[in-house]
Amino acid sequence: MSKFSASVAATFHSFTTAITAAAGMLLAACSSPVAPPGGQGTAPTAAARAAVDRVETTSDGTSTSRSVDGYKRDIALRITEVNSTKVYPGQPQALLRSIIVVKFSVDGGGKLLRSEIVRTNHDSATEATALASLRNTAPFPRPASGLLRNGRLEMSETWLFNNDGRFQIRSVAQPQKDE
């Protein structure tokens, strides 16, 4: 093979490799989820949309959940519903602005007895939002009597904040983005 033929063959190989790579990137881009207009992240899944449905209760307002985790989910759904303008509808970003853990107590009637922040990065705006969203949602559905200890139910919940200050509650949050 002459130098000219070898040069043409090498150039042709490089050209076809570049075209193949470009075509692969275009095809991959076609299958990637597209962010909803005006926002980051992906559109909410059916499960996320269902998360804003009303909490099921008995005729006297008692939650139908019989476990602490189930009752926490009921409260998280209620917080999401009442504070919908402050809730992020898509996947939380990979590096969150803030993670706030709040420990709180509810009495047998669903009244919020006390709340305190037990984990924070000292972002006062997100701390205030987490506590306010909890207070604004109370009273909660009545917990099942089997969940009460000394007339109250104590639990912790986590608020996941994106950079824009909107949040999701961990008990009903979508999975975080990888990057």
The CATH number covering residue 98 comes to: 3.30.1150
Pair (61, 28) in one structural domain: no
Domain assignment of residue 120, yes or no: yes
Query: Quick one: 138 exposed, middle or buried, by C-beta within 10 A (0-12, 13-18, 19+)?
Result: middle
Same domain, 111 and 155: yes
Per-residue pLDDT of the chain (179 residues; tens, 9 = 90+): 555 555 545 554 554 444 444 444 444 433 333 333 333 343 433 433 443 345 677 777 778 888 999 999 999 999 999 999 999 998 999 999 999 999 999 999 999 999 999 999 999 999 999 999 999 999 999 999 999 999 999 999 999 999 999 999 999 999 988 86
Same domain, 118 and 66: yes
Residue 179 located in a structural domain: no
Q: Are 128 and 52 in a shared domain?
A: yes
152 and 103 share one domain: yes
Name the DSSP class of 59: T
Q: Which domain holds residue 11?
A: 1-32
Is residue 65 located within the same domain as residue 150? yes
Separation of alpha carbons 166 and 123, rounded Å: 13
The structure tokens listed for 157 are 């919940």
Q: Are residues 71 and 125 in the same domain?
A: yes
- For residue 37, tell me if it sits in a domain: no
Same domain, 55 and 82: yes
On whether residue 103 sits in a domain, the answer given is yes
In a domain, 41, yes or no: no
pTM (2 decimals)?
0.68
Instruction: Note the residue count of the chain.
Output: 179
**Burial profile 110-122: b = 16 or more Cβ within 10 angstroms, e = fewer:** bebeebebeebee
Question: What is the number of domains present in the chain?
Answer: 2
Tokens at 116, concatenated: 């305190």
Pairing between strand 112-119 and 98-107?
antiparallel
Q: Cα separation of 40 and 116, whole Å?
A: 31
